[in-house]
Amino acid sequence: MSEIITEMVKEKINEFIDRSKDLGLKVTPQRIAIYKELASTDQHPSTETIYKKIKDYYPNISLTTVYRTLETFEKLGLISVVNVLYNAARYDANLDPHNHIVCTVCKKVEDVYDASLTTLDISDKTLGEYQIKGYSILLNGVCKDCRSN
């Protein structure tokens, strides 16, 4: 099973490299390492979490560099950002259409795949003068582990 996951991560990294080149973004070992941390987890890590994981491999990398890199990735559409209850931004390499649910106690973030959430009928009155480019839904709740504690 872990071999399949490793192959999936390798495929995502190769797609990231190709897409970065198409966008004119220089592909560096540090950028690949940052993306790899995102692509190899479904935990939606924060900047600090990613920084701590790659610091061992790239001891000269700064937290500011990781912040700026993630910001660049997000602006180019290579990753998405998940803002969790006014805490630090969390990041997601999964660009498939989906939403998120966050535990209000432990702050765990999980993906939610529900087609009914992608077909919202929003009235023009609600939108006003806005032209919607996309939306995401963040559900809040208490996870099973926190409820049992």
Residue 1 has pLDDT above 60, yes or no: no
Q: Are residues 81 and 124 in the same domain?
A: no
Q: Are residues 64 and 86 in the same domain?
A: yes
Q: What is the pLDDT of residue 5?
A: 61
The CATH number linked to 48 is 1.10.10.10
User: Helix or strand or coil: residue 50?
Assistant: helix
Q: Are residues 46 and 78 in the same domain?
A: yes
Q: Are residues 87 and 115 in the same domain?
A: no
Domain coverage including residue 12: 2-92
Q: Are residues 76 and 104 in the same domain?
A: no
Residue 125: pLDDT band (50, 70, 90) is confident
Q: What is the spatial distance between Cα 72 and Cα 49, in angstroms, rounded to a whole number?
A: 18
CA atoms within 13 A on the CB side of 131: 0
Q: Are residues 74 and 113 in the same domain?
A: no
Residue 26 has pLDDT above 90, yes or no: yes
What single-letter amino acid sits at 47? T
**What's the average model confidence in pLDDT over 139-146?**
93
Q: What's the distance, CA 34 to chain centroid?
A: 12
Q: Are residues 23 and 86 in the same domain?
A: yes
Q: What are the tens digits of pLDDT across the range 68-95?
A: 999 999 999 999 988 766 667 889 999 8
Q: Are residues 16 and 74 in the same domain?
A: yes
Q: How many domains does the chain have?
A: 2
10 Å CB burial of residue 6 (0-12, 13-18, 19+) is exposed
Q: What is the pLDDT of residue 39?
A: 94
The CATH number linked to 133 is 3.30.1490.190
Q: What are the tens digits of pLDDT across the range 27-71?
A: 999 999 999 999 999 889 999 999 999 999 999 999 999 999 999
Domain boundary among the residues 44, 73, 92 is at 92
Q: What is the pLDDT of residue 84?
A: 63
